[in-house]
Structure 1
């Protein structure tokens, strides 16, 4: 009863924030909807970056990985997020100075329409998969709280996440993310403290009770397999349209960079409890499904109802915030990169029309994400596919567009094609390592080799206000 009350209060609070920011005074045009009027401060930015990237992929997929392979190997898995957050700080100012609403806009300005359209397709393929994992994750949680099955819970999550993304755009998403981040940090730390004190007689007892094969730095995996889990998260965060969109929404370049360092610190505080809880679960619940590693601890036979409520509310918060963020980013790709690539055509729409098209595109992406998630056998397999598709095919080209003068149109296009094809082919016919170990080196080699043998594309520094949808590129002053 207490658990349901906590969840209801949380959901009601998120809905209230969504309704507040859905008002016309808060969201008057496309810039308000997609970039929050470029007025977000560092704490809110850090909160929304944190909860966007640390979602069900961490509390379910990542926890499943730790449960199966051990806490030390889990550090390498999550290190991709931590190292990526730190590296993001080095590119934050450049991203804010350019202020593109979507990553394909940057690719279009640097390489032309062809590469921009190719980037849009890959972004949507990856983001639809990531969004789908959030529906599945929420379905797990709702099945624990209500008589609903996991499938029915996913349907409920579909409507809730879609509303949060549709209501107030990035303003709504950012503030619900920030408030959820406070709940999540407090909830995870509280849950870890209780379970550790209640069930373990010191740190030595905890490590002794772990299965022997889970006490090494490699666990049950080879170093190459571990690399296959580290790289997708690291590459995704550097090129993630969500991260670039949020940096573009900062008040200024310094605020954007400061937010990434807050993100780095808060990420450590959030990820460490996830690793501990999942490994605690391996000791206390050795026979459950790995996907339920953390959620299983909410059972009343292991934790008091209040602690169980905190665990489930925390997990739900992670899922809802990540899902709404990826829906919003996908909406931007449809509106800015497909329907209204021409700036003049888009600006001819009224502010309300821009918001309407954005909201309709959120609904379209949500439906596609719900359908595609039905075709993957496990949560972790869909998660790794989506992360790799983006990280291998898009991130190298995005970083080259920002920092490498010698990169060419042909190099960018061929790298994205090779990265995408290699990812899909390995997922279908590959072996025991994740596809990123194959697709990323191939994409990077193609990018460099082709660029060095073809004419390069000029650098881009122009911001969103002066963006172009033509193939004319902008020289660096």
Structure 2
């Protein structure tokens, strides 16, 4: 533990809480839509930053770093390749998504498939997002335990409290603006660290020669099917990530949504490329450590100057907190708009705000408990990505691009994708394959077969272009 690391972390946490309190007292949160969409007033730089940092949390700086540490830089780049490829697909669909302008993904599905599908999708989404919140809590606990005398569990509790306070006070306003400053902090820290770490090793040639032999191969020692099992969850989640869709809805207009997506595409390379190189370099400098700690170890074990190491560690906490806040906020919207509103009937803006804030508190408790079940961030990350990507993504794309899909097909895909993912996890992941390898085909087959054996929808007009934007009336 170094005093300067503690000081940098303390200053950062206080600054984040200050931003949250500012927006809580600013009077901008007049209802549930403001809490979720920040009044659709975010400027482009903030939009790009919040989309980027929402996506790259502990799953990148800890889970993804673990993968690159274990399997090498080439396999690490394949692992992260799902991000730019997924963004390219979103770029093509950004205007269509912005026109949909719904509170949640399940609400979008209801327009085409009915209330039952919305309810099932809301439960699946909440399950996945609570798992992703849990991964952020665990990742943050790792970092805090490196910087302070707190244990990993105590650090997890601290991070859970900060994430919850940040989310419940300012909604997307506080999340987006802390994302902006966090993005600057972590990108700067990663790029300054890279030449220093390579200099310690002896340069690029020494770096490549120092890697374990299997880490210089394309698959890093994995089979092609195993590597695909790591690539697909990230790619599938991004294609229909409710967080990203809500950010696009929070844009001022369709043009802003598209340009922000393009900005996210370019800025993503500024994060995952240095993460892969630093994590694989850590395998040379610190062989045999827990891969989750690869980049964090470079910062905390004296391989970087103390101030820079403190910035990296604070940046890691920044990623964890802001990503955790985003997934928590998104899951709360499922509870408020997809589940509570179904039971309570029409819910006004003020009531929606209260329900979302109470949901945030409940999500924090459940996520902390779930985090105790999974030993590493990477395992929890893969489970959560898969349960969402395999179940939700095929149905969302059926809404956007396949008019023949039916309600029966949507329900079958949701149930098959989620049940197969959970069953595969309970069975212990046979063959060391991630669940997406079986869950995605199961969901796609269920969607197509059930749709084709049931009556085609009578209404084939686009159901994703509402007459007026969501939020123009009481939710």
Structure-2 residue corresponding to 1:377: 375
Structure-2 residue corresponding to 1:227: 228
Structure-2 residue corresponding to 1:316: 317
Are 2:441 and 1:444 aligned? no
Which among 39, 46, 49 is matched to residue 48 of structure 2? 46
**Partners of 2:17 and 2:317 in 1: CA distance:** 14
**Partners of 1:289 and 1:191 in 2: CA distance:** 20
**Partners of 2:317 and 2:111 in 1: CA distance:** 38
Structure-2 residue corresponding to 1:474: none
Structure-2 residue corresponding to 1:434: 434
Superposed CA deviations along residues 310-362 of structure 1, whole A, max 9, x for unmatched, are 22011111111110000000110011011113897113xxx443322211111
Say if 1:109 and 1:468, in contact at 8 Å, map to a contact too. no
Are 2:193 and 1:195 aligned? no
Say if 1:56 and 1:319, in contact at 8 Å, map to a contact too. yes
When normalised by structure 1's length, the TM-score is 0.95
Bigger shift: residues 258-267 or 338-347: 338-347
Say if 1:343 and 1:467, in contact at 8 Å, map to a contact too. no
Report SS of the residue matched to 1:33. helix
Structure-1 residue corresponding to 2:306: 305
Which among 13, 27, 30 is matched to residue 29 of structure 2? 27
**Partners of 1:343 and 1:240 in 2: CA distance:** 27
**Partners of 2:319 and 2:307 in 1: CA distance:** 18
Superposed CA deviations along residues 403-429 of structure 1, whole A, max 9, x for unmatched, are 221111011110111111111111122
Structure-2 residue corresponding to 1:251: 252
| Aligned-residue offset at 1:24 | 5.2
**Partners of 2:266 and 2:104 in 1: CA distance:** 26
Query: Which aligned pairs between 1:405-444 and structure 2 lie closer than 5 A?
Result: 405-429=403-427, 430-431=429-430, 432-444=432-444
Runs of 4+ in 1 over 4 A off after TM superposition: 465-469
When normalised by structure 2's length, the TM-score is 0.95
- Count of residues in Structure 1 that have an aligned counterpart in Structure 2: 465
Report SS of the residue matched to 2:347. helix
| Aligned-residue offset at 1:75 | 0.6
**Partners of 1:343 and 1:405 in 2: CA distance:** 31
- Name stretches of at least 5 consecutive residues in structure 2 with no aligned partner: none
Structure-2 residue corresponding to 1:273: 274
**Partners of 1:300 and 1:116 in 2: CA distance:** 48
- Name stretches of at least 5 consecutive residues in structure 1 with no aligned partner: 470-477
Structure-2 residue corresponding to 1:106: 108
**Partners of 1:18 and 1:87 in 2: CA distance:** 33
Which among 12, 15, 18 is matched to residue 16 of structure 1? 18
Which among 453, 462, 470 is matched to residue 464 of structure 1? 470
Query: Which aligned pairs between 1:47-86 and structure 2 lie closer than 5 A?
Result: 47-86=49-88
Superposed CA deviations along residues 66-95 of structure 1, whole A, max 9, x for unmatched, are 111111000110011121112111111111
| Aligned-residue offset at 1:467 | 9.0
Superposed CA deviations along residues 359-382 of structure 1, whole A, max 9, x for unmatched, are 111101111101111112322211
**Partners of 1:11 and 1:468 in 2: CA distance:** 35
Report SS of the residue matched to 2:81. helix
| Aligned-residue offset at 1:10 | 1.2
Say if 1:188 and 1:314, in contact at 8 Å, map to a contact too. no
**What RMSD, in angstroms, separates the aligned Cα atoms of the two structures?**
1.6
**Partners of 2:360 and 2:58 in 1: CA distance:** 20
